[in-house]
Chain A
Amino acid sequence: MNGTGEWKDLNQQNLDAMLRQNVPDAPPDAVVRQVTPWRRAANRILFGLFLTTFTVNIMGLHIHLPLLGALLCLLGARLLRQENLPFRWVWRLALVRLVYEVLWMAANTTVYLTLTPYRQIVWALEWGMMAMTIVQLILLWEGYCQVCQRVNMPLNRGATVPLLCLGLLWVLALSLHWFWVLLLLPVGIFFYVLLRLRWRFHKLEAAGYAIQAAPVGLPGTKLTAAVAGATAVGVVCGCLLGSRYPMDWTLVDPVEDPQALEIQTQLKDLGYPAEALADLTQEDLLACEGAWLVVVEEADLPVNEGHTVTYDEYGITRTEQVYDTRELHLTTVAVRLPEQGQAWRVFHHFRFTTSPGFPGTEAVEIFADTMGTWGWLPRSERQGTGRLLYDRQGQTYTTSYTTLEWVEENGNTFLRGTFSLPENGTNQRGYLAYEVDAVYFERPTRLFSHFTYAHQTGRLRFLHRTALDYINASILGRSGPFVTAEGGIDLLSTPEGAE
């Protein structure tokens, strides 16, 4: 026990009075800095605005940090909302931003943001939020200037000019699409404005003592819990309701064109696997008219986790992943077309031999040389065909890919498609096809066509929303709820045929 009886007269009734009488003569500097109606609110607002604007696309931080920033901004802005009109609007915009970030978090657990009809909306919202941040900074500064004027404190409105420049640059970049050119300039100005504002607030902190903080009805902890709860509900709803692409399945139309049927027979005679051949559309069959050579590569690949087997080899313990089931059958067929030169039509088929499991998002990617990088160019305008099929109760259903587009990256071209498999049915399958012609048709050219299939195995996703996100991240194998399987064809095309 400490002390020598100085407080022996202390009791519950005189506690307050004795504390007041014996308080230290001067408060510590750290306490004096904190006891102000302005500093806590301003720091929260500025840091919140920083988090909502500058994020890093690592581990999902580009989604979580803005939500945290919006909450911080609101917690700070609500204390100032009754001081003057600009501060009140900072608070109102902070509220709008928080609601937006909660909805944005939920939307990011769905597949809809990746769909073409929504991309323009997403783009507009992102630019709108950036504009809102600029407006909030201007209003924050204006609000503080009004406080300084109210207490007759001299003020140099220096930050207004950089803020307006930032706004002007944003409008310019938006209207002229000079985003990449002007990216560094607005970023630099934004950092300067934030630091400058913070410095000015610090220099004029004395004026902040005149601010009357507004009472709050909901404690910060409860508000945070409410936001977390709403976000969790949104995320769960997104995972449950938005984890599949909307697919429009219809009964498949049988091939009736006599010419197409004849071509089908010819392809079968050349060695095209019958099961895969039956999936081709009439148009794809007609595109193979006159084909005189077929090269086939097939593989059975697993999308399950398998199990680990340990064994001894020459005294060394080794482990190996073993798959009792290989659910995905890949068939790659290269069809030589009757053109002067070396024209090929390449088909990549995939088929689930057992149930694919969770019906989430799927994605396929073909690495195809159509830019002449490896000696091939597109043969015709008709590129990137294909469809999806499955069987149910003796009927076959078909639909198109949700998205199917060519992408150019680092001098290479990729054909990427996205879709969702049906929740019931069997024999889920599909294919993609494209055509190429050799640049130098008189000499042998290696034809390499690589196929990647990304499959979603579970509902809970964190870093990647869809199988396409997984492919875009260039991740192979299994990670989280996604897994990839690869196949393809590699042949040496010659004027006479193939080797």
Chain B
Amino acid sequence: MREDQLIQLLRERGEEGVEALLQYYGPLMRYVIAPILPDPRDREECLWEVAMRVWQKIHLYDPQRGSWNSWLTALTRNTALNRAQRLEEQSQQLTDTLPDRAPTPEESLLHRERQEELQRAIQRLSPGERMLFYRRYYYLQPISQIARELGLTQRAAEGRLYRLKKRLYHQLKGGSQ
């Protein structure tokens, strides 16, 4: 099934769209979810949650802003992270003394500015370093997985990541002084 056909099915709000999404893009979604949720049951539940969110938010997908795979990857990752956060909160005992988790307007502004600064730093990386950064800090993949998929030994992958972090640290820290 072509990508545009799938998107059309989803926009028509039919069940066939969700089935086709899981059939053709299930492996991609599982690939993104796996490093974030270690439990297999959580992964499957998250997969259905992602499918529902795609079905609900398909109207927000704009091909002009990015590819379908990028949009789906971002949606899947955010859903998995939210689920992981919920699971973490459920494992803690809630009390009245816990601080409000919602960011303040100042924190939101700071977060946005940090993102922009980091984005600029990432753009200065080579394509290989950029991919390594996203694998580690966006896809949250373990070193072992990164090493396997790039055809490196674990030690070589750790070395590359160390140099990358060092470089980013100096760029970001130096920009803040």
Interface residues on chain B, number (Cβ under 8 Å) = 56
**B149 contacts which of A8, A23, A37 (Cβ < 8 Å)?**
A37
Task: Known contacts A3-B175, A27-B74; decide if A33 and B152 are in contact (CB<8 Å).
Answer: no
> Is B74 a contact partner of A23 (Cβ separation < 8 A)?
no
> Is B165 a contact partner of A75 (Cβ separation < 8 A)?
no
Q: Which residue of A lies closest to B138 (CB)?
A: A23
> Is A19 a contact partner of B151 (Cβ separation < 8 A)?
no
Q: Which residue of B lies closest to A75 (CB)?
A: B151
Q: CB within 8 Å of A: which of B128-177?
A: 130-131, 133-135, 137-140, 144-145, 147-154, 156, 165, 168-169, 172-177
> Is A153 a contact partner of B67 (Cβ separation < 8 A)?
no
> Is A10 a contact partner of B115 (Cβ separation < 8 A)?
no
Query: Cα distance A7–B172 when bound, in Å?
Result: 6
Say yes or no: is A131 at the interface (Cβ < 8 Å to chain B).
no
Residues of A contacting B120 in the complex (Cβ-Cβ under 8 angstroms): 2
Task: Known contacts A29-B67, A79-B148; decide if A6 and B134 are in contact (CB<8 Å).
Answer: no
Task: Known contacts A26-B74, A206-B27; decide if A31 and B118 are in contact (CB<8 Å).
Answer: no
Say yes or no: is B38 at the interface (Cβ < 8 Å to chain A).
no
Query: Cα distance A232–B111 when bound, in Å?
Result: 55
Q: CB within 8 Å of A: which of B90-107?
A: none
Say yes or no: is B66 at the interface (Cβ < 8 Å to chain A).
yes
Task: Known contacts A20-B140, A216-B153; decide if A34 and B23 are in contact (CB<8 Å).
Answer: no
Query: Cα distance A12–B173 when bound, in Å?
Result: 10
Q: CB within 8 Å of B: which of A188-240?
A: 206-210, 212-220
Query: Cα distance A18–B148 when bound, in Å?
Result: 26
**A27 contacts which of B110, B138, B154 (Cβ < 8 Å)?**
B138
> Is B134 a contact partner of A210 (Cβ separation < 8 A)?
no
Residues of A contacting B122 in the complex (Cβ-Cβ under 8 angstroms): 24
Query: Cα distance A443–B133 when bound, in Å?
Result: 88
Majority secondary structure, B binding face: helix
> Is B137 a contact partner of A19 (Cβ separation < 8 A)?
yes
> Is B137 a contact partner of A31 (Cβ separation < 8 A)?
no
Task: Known contacts A10-B173, A40-B149, A210-B30; decide if A24 and B118 are in contact (CB<8 Å).
Answer: yes
Query: Cα distance A24–B134 when bound, in Å?
Result: 9
Q: Which residue of A lies closest to B177 (CB)?
A: A1
Q: Which residue of A lies closest to B153 (CB)?
A: A219
Instruction: Tally inter-chain residue pairs, CB-CB below 8 A.
Output: 153
> Is A22 a contact partner of B111 (Cβ separation < 8 A)?
yes
> Is B168 a contact partner of A19 (Cβ separation < 8 A)?
yes
Residues of B contacting A1 in the complex (Cβ-Cβ under 8 angstroms): 174-175, 177
> Is A22 a contact partner of B114 (Cβ separation < 8 A)?
yes
> Is A6 a contact partner of B176 (Cβ separation < 8 A)?
yes
Residues of A contacting B131 in the complex (Cβ-Cβ under 8 angstroms): 31, 34-35
Majority secondary structure, A binding face: loop
Q: Which residue of A lies closest to B78 (CB)?
A: A25
Residues of B contacting A31 in the complex (Cβ-Cβ under 8 angstroms): 130-131, 134
Q: Which residue of B lies closest to A221 (CB)?
A: B156
**A35 contacts which of B30, B74, B119, B134 (Cβ < 8 Å)?**
B134
Say yes or no: is B48 at the interface (Cβ < 8 Å to chain A).
no
**B115 contacts which of A24, A206, A209, A216 (Cβ < 8 Å)?**
A24
Query: Cα distance A161–B122 when bound, in Å?
Result: 46
B151 to A: closest C-beta gap in Å: 5
Query: Cα distance A29–B63 when bound, in Å?
Result: 11
Query: Cα distance A215–B150 when bound, in Å?
Result: 9
> Is B27 a contact partner of A209 (Cβ separation < 8 A)?
yes
B4 to A: closest C-beta gap in Å: 13
Q: Which residue of B lies closest to A147 (CB)?
A: B27
Say yes or no: is A429 at the interface (Cβ < 8 Å to chain B).
no
Residues of A contacting B110 in the complex (Cβ-Cβ under 8 angstroms): 6
Q: Which residue of A lies closest to B111 (CB)?
A: A22
**A209 contacts which of B31, B138, B175 (Cβ < 8 Å)?**
B31
**B151 contacts which of A2, A35, A79 (Cβ < 8 Å)?**
A79
Query: Cα distance A18–B67 when bound, in Å?
Result: 27
Query: Cα distance A247–B172 when bound, in Å?
Result: 72
Query: Cα distance A429–B70 when bound, in Å?
Result: 76
> Is B176 a contact partner of A35 (Cβ separation < 8 A)?
no
Residues of B contacting A152 in the complex (Cβ-Cβ under 8 angstroms): 23
Query: Cα distance A217–B117 when bound, in Å?
Result: 37
Q: List 27 A-B contacts (CB under 8 A).
A: A1-B175, A2-B117, A5-B176, A6-B176, A7-B117, A8-B177, A18-B114, A19-B133, A19-B137, A19-B165, A22-B111, A23-B118, A24-B119, A26-B66, A26-B73, A27-B74, A29-B70, A34-B131, A35-B134, A37-B149, A79-B151, A206-B24, A206-B28, A207-B27, A210-B30, A216-B148, A219-B151
Nearest 5 A/B pairs, CB to CB? A3-B175, A209-B31, A209-B27, A213-B148, A26-B74
